[in-house]
Amino acid sequence: MFLRGQVVIGDGSTIPHDVLIERVCSQRVLQQVYAGPRGDFSMQLGSRTDAIVDASGEGSPLNGTSANDATLGIPRRQLQMCELRTSASGFRSSVVTLMDLTVSTANVDVGRIPIERMTKVEGTTLNAADYRVPKEARKAYEKGMTAARDGKSADAEKYFEKAAEIYPKYEKAWYELGVERLKGKDKGGAKAAFTQATKANAKFMPAYLTLASMAYKAKDWAEVVRLTEHIIEQDPLNHTNVTGYVVDLDPLNSTEAYFYNAMANFQLGHIEEAEKNAIKAEHVDLRTAFPQLHLLMAEIYTLKNNYAGAISEIETYMELVPGAKDMGTLRAHLARLEQLNGTKAEEKRE
């Protein structure tokens, strides 16, 4: 049983290599796939022995199975609480609801999903600098992108190196070179390539964000703050609506930048700055990609003796991550906070 569709660009240009399609249900990302070279994609909803069952509990006639077995099928009501979200660097993201989806065959086609090229965030869109790239460098870059799509990482790396050698200011070539080096576990080489991308273009945000991610994993908190502050200064938070679609003008994943910044400031003891950016991260984390944000906020609220706020944040985290390995520890911590909150309430009454 497959959910199929095609991502298209309004101006008819070539689909970028990094178009990600996510099935999000009740604000949780359940599936992720990348579109093919022509924009086509498919998601497997279940095996051929499964059924899509309706809200009444009746089985689907697709395969003659019954909905009585709770281990089979996808409840139609659950599917209707889902949506598809597309995203790609340099493009506005589209969200398509599955509420009105009609399931009549094992292959469900959601049709064409248009995305539009960004023009408001520098570093992710076609600009004058792209036209200054020598022809040979551009050819090498395009060959590298093709090799990367085909899974030929070693060849892609050589092409990107050639493109950057021909035109040292080619930030996109440096960035893709870093991506390929990361695939090969060459963290030092990847960091060097991403750094060259930032030197070639100080407004090329994808490189800054990837460097911030690497610094975060290395627990280099001062470097995380430096890199994410540069991203935040670009103020990527800009949302608008288009009839039929919800468009998110946030190709740089501002949630990630704000989260890294908040965590780094917290580790450095800058509690007020950590709280400010954690709140911003929660505000824009529409995909709930960083549920650990709520644990961070709980820590901040606990330090400020705001036990009620800390309790609420932990409960939110537990709802988002019901299978968390540390659930026992969280419940114990929650009980302690509830005790502290009760004591605080008693003191206020007295």
Neighbours of 339 (CB within 10 A): 11
Residues 168 and 83 reside in one and the same domain:
no
Please state the rounded mean pLDDT for residues 57-79. 39
Residue 53 has pLDDT above 50, yes or no: no
Whether 239 is in a domain gets the answer: no
Whether 246 is in a domain gets the answer: no
Whether 238 is in a domain gets the answer: no
Tell me the CA distances in angstroms from 62 to 41, 51, 107, 195, one per residue in order: 22, 7, 10, 53
Whether 22 is in a domain gets the answer: yes
How high is the pLDDT of residue 287?
Answer: 57
Domain end residue (candidates: 90, 115, 140): 115
Rounded CA-CA distance 117/15 in Å is 11
Whether 111 is in a domain gets the answer: yes
Residues 111 and 141 reside in one and the same domain:
no
How high is the pLDDT of residue 245?
Answer: 30
Residue 346 CB-density burial (10 A; 0-12 exposed, 13-18 middle, 19+ buried)? exposed
Residues 201 and 96 reside in one and the same domain:
no
239-292 residue pLDDT tens? 333 333 333 334 345 778 899 999 999 999 999 999 999 988 887 765 567 888
Q: Which domain holds residue 140?
A: 128-233
Which of 29-33, 59-63, 201-205, 343-347 comes out lowest in average pLDDT?
Answer: 59-63
Neighbours of 238 (CB within 10 A): 12
139 Cβ partners below 8 Å, 6+ apart? none
Whether 67 is in a domain gets the answer: yes
Residue 299 has pLDDT above 80, yes or no: yes
In three-state secondary structure terms, 305 is coil
Total number of domains in the chain: 3
Residues 74 and 135 reside in one and the same domain:
no
Label residue 21 left, alpha or beta by phi (over 0 means left) and psi (-120 to 50 means alpha).
Answer: beta
**Residue 282: what residue type?**
E
Whether 48 is in a domain gets the answer: yes
Domain end residue (candidates: 177, 199, 233): 233
> pLDDT higher for 25 or 273?
273
Residues 186 and 259 reside in one and the same domain:
no
Residues 221 and 266 reside in one and the same domain:
no
Q: Which of 163-167, 204-208, 319-323, 345-349 has the highest mean pLDDT?
A: 163-167
Residue 80 has pLDDT above 50, yes or no: yes
Please state the rounded mean pLDDT for residues 4-9. 85
Domain end residue (candidates: 58, 80, 115): 115
Mean pLDDT, the chain, as a whole number?
Answer: 76
- Could you give the angle at which helices 205-217 and 221-233 cross, rounded to 10 degrees? 160
Residues 111 and 136 reside in one and the same domain:
no
**What CATH number is given to the structural domain containing 224?**
1.25.40.10
302-348 residue pLDDT tens? 999 999 999 999 998 888 888 888 888 989 999 999 888 877 655 55
How high is the pLDDT of residue 286?
Answer: 58
Residues 98 and 147 reside in one and the same domain:
no
CA nearest to 115, candidates 25, 19, 42? 19
CB 6 within 8 A of CB 39: yes
Rounded CA-CA distance 87/19 in Å is 6
Residues 142 and 186 reside in one and the same domain:
yes
Query: Which residue(s) pair with 239 in the sheet?
Result: 248
Please state the rounded mean pLDDT for residues 58-67. 34
Residues 284 and 212 reside in one and the same domain:
no
How high is the pLDDT of residue 300?
Answer: 94
How high is the pLDDT of residue 150?
Answer: 85
Record the tokens describing residue 155, joined without a space.
């060849």
Residue 215 has pLDDT above 70, yes or no: yes
How high is the pLDDT of residue 24?
Answer: 80
Percentage of the chain modeled with pLDDT above 70: 72
> pLDDT higher for 105 or 260?
260
Q: Which of 40-49, 76-85, 161-170, 275-284 has the highest mean pLDDT?
A: 161-170
Residue 219 has pLDDT above 90, yes or no: yes
Please state the rounded mean pLDDT for residues 118-129. 46
Residues 151 and 216 reside in one and the same domain:
yes
Percentage of the chain modeled with pLDDT above 90: 31
Residue 48 binned pLDDT confidence (cut-offs 50, 70, 90): very low
**What CATH number is given to the structural domain containing 54?**
2.60.40.10
Rounded CA-CA distance 35/37 in Å is 7
Whether 91 is in a domain gets the answer: yes
Tell the residue number behind the tokens 């019954």, with chain if given: 66
Residues 6 and 103 reside in one and the same domain:
yes
Residue 203 binned pLDDT confidence (cut-offs 50, 70, 90): confident
Residue 104 binned pLDDT confidence (cut-offs 50, 70, 90): low
How high is the pLDDT of residue 231?
Answer: 86
